[in-house]
Amino acid sequence: MRKMQKGLFYLIWVTDRNPIIFQKASLVLPLLRYICRSFTRSSALLTRTHINYGVRGDVAVIRINSPNSKVNTLSQELHSEFMEVMNEVWSSSQIRSAVLISTKPGCFIAGADLNMLNSCTTSQEVTQISQEAQKMFEKLEKSTKPVVAAINGSCLGGGLELAISCQYRIATKDKKTVLGSPEVLLGILPGAGATQRLPKMVGRPAAFDMMLTGRGIRADRAKKMGLVDQLVEPLGPGVKPPEERTIEYLEEVAITFAKGLADKKITPKRDKGLVEKLTSYALSIPFVRQQIYKKVEEKVRKQTKGLYPAPLKIIDVVKTGIEQGSTAGYLSESQTFGELAMTKESKALMGLYRGQTQCKKNKFGAPQKEVKQLAVVGAGLMGAGIAQVSVDKGLQTILKDTTLPALGRGQQQVFKGLNDKVKKKTLTSFERDAMFSNLIGQLDYRGFEKADMVIEAVFEDLNLKHRVLKEAEAVIPDHCVFASNTSALPIGEIATVSKRPEKVIGMHYFSPVDKMQLLEIITTEKTSKDTTASAVDVGLRQGKVIIVVKDGPGFYTTRCLTPMMSEVIRILQEGVGPKNLDSLTTSFGFPVGAATLVDEGGVDVAKHVAENLGKMFGERFAGGSLEVLMQMISKGFLGRKSGKGFYIYQEGVKNKNLNSDMDSILASLKMPSQPDVSSDEDIQYRLVTRFVNEAILCLQEGVLATPAEGDIGAVFGLGFPPCLGGPFHFVDLYGAQKIVDRLRKYETAYEKQFTPCQLLVDHANNPNKKFYQ
């Protein structure tokens, strides 16, 4: 699950990066190119929109740069222009080899054009798209004139499929250069030959890893794997901007290799290492192959719990190609591609992808003053986490606490977070040290007079938050934003003691901050637009996916989770064991079981929230009794942090055991179970429908601005099953009527808690009404 999220995040990251550089360069680049390069022949330079093509000596240089877009995508237009150019290359007697390069900074080709897929209504149409691409790439693969793919920036999905169809690949060793097959994250598979080519190129284990996880591979690793043949170092400033000259240099190097390949001075074959040779020998034995397929399938089944069809299909298609030959393989690939594109899972995942793209933009515009100096009050788990994701992006951050041990713990957390990246080799120790120097730990408010934003992350206690706000406001400058990190305390109430409530805002981070992508920003009636813009800007710089919601008890995320948690307690009281409940929730697609979730979040926190929101929302939030949580707290069963909750947690012990002392608590508070709403499926739906109903009510009441934010918040903050696409996609794809029917059924058993909200009923009454049109 976490991997899936990371993968999704990554895709977005690729598409949204460096807008400024891009804008500048896209204006300058084509012009410069046109003037500076002397091509011996440039055919129809101006008639093509995506491709600029010319010849240097006997090497054709094909440059891709789609207009008006931050990235190049394999659209039908690009596809046909490319075919046209390749046909010229093949028919020209002067040309002996070709270089394929993108002149768009930071992007080779980011993938296939998703709109092209979305506009298809049948699997046959999708299959046809796949087959056309397969044909083109096959022709490219069989080209007698060698084609060198010169890769700078993201080379993903269809882009990778194009690159691996070329005879040779040269990639820049840039952080932005990433190769990968992320299709699985969208519920589909690589549909232009990668399922057949990748296993041959990098070996089956690595190919499965790439296609089943969707992970992006950096250039240096790609070189080791045999995915690219040569690396080119990114250049610094010379007599041109570094990005521009790097692309030019990449092209120059690629041209020499293209010539070398045409002259047969270089062979595209690479020497395989001993391990590789042994592996490929082992894989030539059918029995070994079968065992490997079985192993991979088992692993996938365990991880997807059968909820995601794409990974298993990918294994199938790869298998078909290997066992039955490539014709069968290509056919299977294109057909399965068509089938998968039509699944609900794929539509849900693609919807999430689009939602995520939206939530990575600042729709409030650029803030008047960019935050340069940040101050975080409270060096606990959250505060230190916030500090970590700030300093590693270069934000100067003060971390303040009241005692030296508490501060030291927080500083150590930040250091450990950074150091873990050093161990994973994504950072050098030098970069870590430079980042850690952005952090200043202190016990007083010194330096706050220069802060542009203060984020408080002290205990969830209104009086304490009031005190911190007043203390901070005594020091901070007028323009400084004061943000409160809270999961449930209304921001409006925190702001009551503020001299400048327009500068007060809520920033609800999720734990662990460096891993969880979501940031829920809460605005009150008084919060100014510029304050919101500033908070969103900081959040985006911290790498967060952001939803902006209105103030209210529990905001959006906590509010949706609370009725579901109330149901969790009731189900436990009705006699379903925590382990059983956990497996029911995870098999529905939640990444973490419901009982475990209570332990992870903290029983005291759960009780605090349940109590507060219970008071505000009354009957609708009832269900399990608060007494369960209160008794747990009195016995010290606070969840993971105290070592005991529903489970027992021990350092170094992987399989957690049930806490047998819970039996007496649950037995003493036992509730009668109602057999007609207590089947496994009913239990799952009791949990999910309460969540979904509350989410839709949030949209109805205007807490949420858009359904997309509701879906992103639910999936990225609360672990709502990604295969369902979030509560709103879920209603759209599975039918509002079915969900209302479920709710009505449970309503007869539990009354108001399951009464569907008006907006949901509206959707059920009118099947044409969808949250996503």
Partner 1 sequence: MISLLTYTLKNLPNTSKWALRFCMRPLSSSSQLQAAAASQTKSKKTLAKPNIRNIVVVDGVRTPFLLSGTSYKDLMPHDLARAALSGLLHRTSVPKDVVDYIIFGTVIQEVKTSNVAREAALGAGFSDKTPAHTVTMACISSNQAMTTAVGLIASGQCDVVVAGGVELMSDIPIRHSRKMRKMMLDLNKAKTLAQRLSIISKFRLNFLSPELPAVSEFSTSETMGHSADRLAAAFAISREEQDEYALRSHSLAKKAQDEGLLSDVVPFKVPGRDTVTQDNGIRPSSLDQMAKLKPAFIKPYGTVTAANSSFLTDGASAVLIMAEEKALAMGYKPKAYLRDFMYVSQDPKDQLLLGPTYATPKVLEKAGLTMNDIDVFEFHEAFSGQILANLKAMDSDWFAQNYMGRKAKVGLPPLEKFNNWGGSLSLGHPFGATGCRLVMAAANRLRKEGGQYGLVAACAAGGQGHAMIVEAYPK
Block residue for tokens 């949204």: 16
Q: How many Å apart are CA 95 and CA 238, to the nearest integer? A: 31
User: Near partner 1 by CB under 8 A, which window of 149-157, 235-243, 365-373, 728-736?
Assistant: 235-243
**628 CA to centre of own chain:** 36
Token duo for residue 527: 């919060």
User: Near partner 1 by CB under 8 A, which window of 239-247, 311-319, 721-729, 740-748?
Assistant: 239-247
**Cis amide bond preceding 501, omega within 30:** no
Q: Say how many C-beta atoms besides its own lie within 10 A of residue 324's C-beta.
A: 12
- CB-wise, 149 or 235, nearer to partner 1? 235
CB of 251 to partner 1, least distance (A): 12
Category of 105 on φ-ψ map: left (φ > 0), alpha (ψ -120 to 50) or beta: beta
Contact 65, 102 (CB under 8 A): yes
Residue 276 annotated as catalytic? no
- CB-wise, 101 or 622, nearer to partner 1? 101
Token duo for residue 771: 């949250």
- CB-wise, 242 or 543, nearer to partner 1? 242
- CB-wise, 146 or 441, nearer to partner 1? 146
Token duo for residue 171: 């990639």
**Interface pick for partner 1 out of 27, 233, 618, 663 (rule CB under 8 A):** 233
User: SS3 for 20?
Assistant: helix
Residues 583-612 that bind partner 1 (CB under 8 A): none
- CB-wise, 327 or 428, nearer to partner 1? 428
Handedness of CA 43, 45, 48, 52 (dihedral sign): positive
Residues 404-463 that bind partner 1 (CB under 8 A): 428, 430
**Interface pick for partner 1 out of 67, 236, 405, 675 (rule CB under 8 A):** 236
**Interface pick for partner 1 out of 38, 91, 144, 237 (rule CB under 8 A):** 237
CB of 95 to partner 1, least distance (A): 22
Residues 85-144 that bind partner 1 (CB under 8 A): none
**Secondary structure (DSSP) of 539-564:** HHHTT-EEEEEE-STTTTHHHHHHHH
The DSSP output letter for 509 is E
- CB-wise, 249 or 728, nearer to partner 1? 249
CA–CA distance from 438 to each of 218, 397, 442 (Å)? 27, 6, 13
Backbone angles phi, psi at 547, to 5 degrees: -115, 145
Contact 23, 51 (CB under 8 A): no
CA–CA distance from 747 to each of 42, 686, 690, 743, 755 (Å)? 72, 10, 11, 6, 6
Contact 238, 191 (CB under 8 A): no
CB of 375 to partner 1, least distance (A): 28
CB of 229 to partner 1, least distance (A): 11
Residues 247-276 that bind partner 1 (CB under 8 A): 249, 253, 256-257
- CB-wise, 245 or 640, nearer to partner 1? 245
User: Near partner 1 by CB under 8 A, which window of 48-56, 237-245, 311-319, 489-497?
Assistant: 237-245
The DSSP H or E segment spanning 181 is none
Contact 107, 14 (CB under 8 A): yes
The yes or no reply on residue 242 touching partner 1 (CB under 8 A) is yes
CB of 273 to partner 1, least distance (A): 18
Q: Which residues contact 96 (CB under 8 A, 6 or more apart)?
A: 58, 59, 145, 259, 262
Block residue for tokens 């161990």: 423
Residue ranges of the alpha helices (H) in 671-706? Answer: 680-700
- CB-wise, 221 or 479, nearer to partner 1? 221
Q: How many Å apart are CA 528 and CA 535, to the nearest integer? A: 11
Q: How many Å apart are CA 166 and CA 149, to the nearest integer? A: 6
- CB-wise, 175 or 670, nearer to partner 1? 175
User: Near partner 1 by CB under 8 A, which window of 96-104, 236-244, 369-377, 506-514?
Assistant: 236-244
**Interface pick for partner 1 out of 230, 438, 642, 678 (rule CB under 8 A):** 230
CB of 260 to partner 1, least distance (A): 9
Contact 135, 195 (CB under 8 A): no
Block residue for tokens 């609800």: 508
CB of 240 to partner 1, least distance (A): 7
**Secondary structure (DSSP) of 403-461:** SHHHHHHHHHHHHHHHHHHHHTTSS-HHHHHHHHTTEEEESS-TTGGG-SEEEE---S-
**Interface pick for partner 1 out of 20, 31, 36, 239 (rule CB under 8 A):** 239
**Interface pick for partner 1 out of 37, 245, 369, 745 (rule CB under 8 A):** 245
CB of 237 to partner 1, least distance (A): 6
Give the count of residues interacting with partner 1 (CB under 8 A).
Answer: 18
- CB-wise, 233 or 444, nearer to partner 1? 233
Q: Write the binding mask 144 to 173 for partner 1: x where contact by CB under 8 A, - elsewhere.
A: ------------------------------
Q: Write the binding mask 705 to 724 for partner 1: x where contact by CB under 8 A, - elsewhere.
A: --------------------
From 243, 520, 567, 694, active-site residue: 520
Residues 168-197 that bind partner 1 (CB under 8 A): none
Positions in the binding site for partner 1 (CB under 8 A): 230, 233-242, 245, 249, 253, 256-257, 428, 430
Instruction: Kindly list the catalytic residues.
Output: 520
